[in-house]
Structure 1
Amino acid sequence: MVFELTRPPVDLELIVPAFNEERRLPSTLRVTIDYLAARPWSSAVVVVDNDSADGTHDVVRRFADSPVRVHMIGCSDHGKGAAVRRGIATSSARYVGFADADSATPIETLDRVMALLDQGHRVVIASRRAPGARYEVEQSALRRCGGWMFRRLARLTVPDVADTQCGFKVFDGPLVREVLPDCRIDGFAFDVEILASVVRRGHRVTEVPVAWSDVPESTFSARRDGLRSMADLIRLSLSR
């Protein structure tokens, strides 16, 4: 594990935002590192500790001798969006993406994502709504209802993106760092804001189908985060 804010450039840097993820993070890091170590591109994993109060810090320390470099940086501003922006802003990678700490999206999705990026696509995201996608483990009825409402509001801002909230997205590095100053949302609607900023610059978002699994113990709270996210989406749609 490397505690450096300034990191050497690589082909791909994968950001993992983490808030109290000591239980789910170990398996995610092991699977991710094993996968990346077998790929031809240079890569690194960046865990952004979003002011965790558990042993997240100690978990990352165990990967100090990993064949793929694992960096850890902090983010005192609360919220997944704040953590992801912190990782992007400090990256110099050719491609930079982020993935959730729960491994809901198979890391093997990167095979297709990287191929598309190398072909010239600037933004490639995992999608549970693209043709060929499927749910390995379905969400609860409450989460499905909330997701339906979120999608309806998100399409007011990015109408051509079917699934803005699958937590697995990879960007052309210079492009996403260019749009970052336009982004302010710290909560779970931050994805929509970044995608909208990219689309406004004339770039297309490419969606790839995934076999996605709902994972228990999500840090998302429908009561705490749901209303805030909806309000952020409404503000985004009004600012278009």
Structure 2
Amino acid sequence: MVAVRAREPLPRWLTRPAVDLELIIPAFNEQRRLPSTIDSTLDYLAARPWKSAVVVVDNNSVDGTLDTLARVADPPVGLHVIGCSDQGKGAAVRRGIVTSSARYIGFADADNATPIDTLDRVMELLRAGHGAVIASRHTAGAHLEVEQSALRRGGGLLFRTLAHLTVPGVADTQCGFKFFSGPLVREIARDCRIDGFAFDVELLAHVVRAGHDVVEVPVDWSDVPGSTFSARRDGLRSMADLLRLSLAR
């Protein structure tokens, strides 16, 4: 049985100052890929008119992930590092969301596979009132600069087929670049239960069920080596989570 998570307000010491936009980056053993992502993200946000912050959620890394972040001196926008003891991308992202006070909240992968300047279009759409705006590799206008392996593409096709049972109107649930209205995503994230990679599907399903739309933005996407995703471990778990979601509709 899944334990019900408490919905009481978080203590003040767990929350961060309110900003216009908070970008969450879940990280598990990302000492190689994270530094360049942090540098480009901070530089990009510093040049934008929004008051922004980056939040890295360390998911029990055992490499030098935290050391690479400690070397960032005088970041041009807020840079916060928090921990998440529950293992899994979903758990880490949810931790970042529920501790945020930002007007808009989103998350991106540590590999920077989606160009950070995609956020220009994303913010336009969020400010127009859309509940969720996500990057998509499978909508008109998208381009894959560097494709995944044949094995990953095959697994991705099966995953998308199952995901469409839960969110039929969304072409790409797994591109790691998703942004939301802050009040909306804080509320629905508290009702999410999946800790693994199928968390994205669960979150988008809650957005739709709450009566909000999901807008997909085409991207120029590149596969970046070094993913900690395991097809055997994470893939099977994600498929099982998807089946549970589809049965719960």
Q: Tell me the equivalent position of 2:141.
A: 132
Equivalent of 1:160 in 137, 148, 169: 169
Query: 1:5: how far off?
Result: 3.3
Q: Tell me the equivalent position of 1:175.
A: 184
Q: Is the 2:101–2:182 Cα contact (8 Å) retained in structure 1?
A: yes
Equivalent of 2:211 in 191, 198, 202: 202
Distance in 2 of aligned mates of 1:192 and 1:198: 10
Distance in 1 of aligned mates of 2:229 and 2:93: 15
TM-score, with structure 1 as normaliser:
0.97
Query: 1:226: how far off?
Result: 0.5
Distance in 2 of aligned mates of 1:155 and 1:144: 16
Distance in 1 of aligned mates of 2:137 and 2:124: 19
Q: Tell me the equivalent position of 1:217.
A: 226
Q: Deviations over 1:3-52 (max 9, x none)?
A: x7321000000000000111111000000000000000000000000010
Equivalent of 1:56 in 53, 65, 74: 65
Paired residue type of 1:140: S
Q: Is the 2:27–2:61 Cα contact (8 Å) retained in structure 1?
A: yes
Q: Tell me the equivalent position of 1:122.
A: 131
Equivalent of 1:150 in 159, 162, 169: 159
Query: 1:59: how far off?
Result: 1.1
Partner-residue secondary structure (3-state), 2:14: coil
Tell me whether 70-79 or 51-60 shows the greater mean CA deviation. Answer: 51-60
Matched, 1:69 2:110: no
Query: 1:202: how far off?
Result: 1.1
Q: Deviations over 1:183-224 (max 9, x none)?
A: 010000000000001101111100000000011111111011
Q: Is the 2:98–2:190 Cα contact (8 Å) retained in structure 1?
A: no
Alignment of 1:185-196 (within 5 A): 185-196=194-205
Distance in 2 of aligned mates of 1:136 and 1:66: 30
**Number of corresponding residues:** 237
Identity rate, percent: 77
Distance in 2 of aligned mates of 1:6 and 1:59: 23
Q: Deviations over 1:37-81 (max 9, x none)?
A: 000000000000001001111111122410111000000100000
Aligned-residue Cα RMSD (Å) equals 0.8
Paired residue type of 1:70: L
Partner-residue secondary structure (3-state), 1:47: strand
Distance in 1 of aligned mates of 2:116 and 2:33: 15
- Structure 2 portions without partners, runs of 5+: 1-12
Q: Is the 2:19–2:53 Cα contact (8 Å) retained in structure 1?
A: yes
Matched, 1:94 2:86: no
After TM superposition, what 4+ stretches of structure 1 lie above 3 angstroms from structure 2? none
TM-score, with structure 2 as normaliser:
0.94
